[in-house]
Homo-oligomer: A and B are copies of this chain.
Amino acid sequence: MGGDFGPHCIVPACVDSLADSPLLRLILVGQHDILEQLVAQYPRLDRTRLLIRPAADIVAMDARPAQVLRGSADSSMRQALELVRRGEAQACVSAGNTGALMALSRHVLKTLPGIDRPAMVTAVPTAAGSCLLLDLGANIDCSAENLYQFAVMGAVAAEALGVVRPRVALLNVGTEAIKGNQQVKLAASLLLQARELNYVGFVEGDGLYRGEADVVVCDGFVGNIVLKASEGLASMIAARVAAQFAAGPLSRLVGLLALPLLRRLQGELRPARHNGASFLGLQGIVVKSHGAAGPEGFRSAIRRALTEVDENLPQRLHGRLEHLLL
């Protein structure tokens, strides 16, 4: 029921996802009549693969996490997470209120042993391919231990995506050991002791996009601001290029030719909007689709959840954490 467009975006995304993946089955959790009406628009759909689980209430997009925890047990968000907890679903995908989803996920699913706080992660495009950036805003203030745990979780997630010996780095204002705040310096000393991790040191903001690491770790305050600033900058560049290309007849011709390229680039440079973000460190799979994502974005988020199911990511994390956590 969540996100800027609610089920009007989510139902078409589900229909497309079912066509993408023949073994996929989806459960829509939310207000029955609205969902039924939208699903009925696809009469040839195999309804055994798209079930509706009624839930009367909706978590408001501006509700505070504490409020949501105290609130209705029959919200669609909570009911979807309960399905995962009971093993009736293998993953939960939501476009709803991020803070509420994180709070409810922790409450319902619990964190993995040894993990104090789950992190939000997404794949960011780099000059070399892509890298996992975490945390993206779930944890505003982080201790060195939190950052260390994010690094471990990010490394295991990167391995699950096929990266061999992922290079793990801390985002910082310089690459020398004396640079940064106390938490980052302490996290570096913890990571230097973790022999099983391929810790490569600090990267700066530009190093992130140069692809100097496969996993880049920071607190949620920095990660959220960097990711959103990057989205804003990419949009601004695209708009500026488009405006320049519209300036004269020759420019317009060039612009027409360049437009598809620029559109593709803009999509790539909005990773969170395009791909959603995963919550790492829970006893279950939860993927957050961007509130402003259209059907294509929500479909990507479902695909991401499917990959994590295929890789059995929480189980894999659990197995590795025993060796990697201090």
- Any chain B CB within 8 A of the CB of A33? no
Residues from chain B with a CB closer than 8 A to the CB of A205 are: 224-232
Most buried by B among A127, A224, A236: A236
Q: Size band of the A side of the interface?
A: 35 or more
**CB <8 Å contact, B226 and A226:** yes
Say what secondary structure dominates the interface of chain A.
helix
- Closest B residue to A229 by beta carbon equals B205
Specify which of B178, B210, B269 is in contact with A232 (CB 8 Å cutoff).
B210
Known: A140-B180, A181-B140. A232 touches B254 (CB 8 A): no
Residues from chain B with a CB closer than 8 A to the CB of A257 are: 250-251, 254
**Bound CA–CA A176/B61 (angstroms):** 12
Closest chain-B Cβ to A50's Cβ sits at a distance in Å of: 34
- Closest B residue to A250 by beta carbon equals B257
**CB <8 Å contact, B232 and A233:** no
- Closest B residue to A98 by beta carbon equals B174
* Stretch of A87-95, A238-246, A318-326 contacting B (4+ beta carbons < 8 Å): A238-246
**CB <8 Å contact, B181 and A127:** no
Most buried by B among A125, A127, A225, A261: A225
User: Interface residues, chain A, CB within 8 Å of chain B?
Assistant: 62, 64, 125-127, 137, 140-141, 171-173, 176, 178, 180-182, 204-210, 218, 220-222, 224-237, 239-241, 244-245, 250-251, 254, 257-258, 261-262, 265, 269
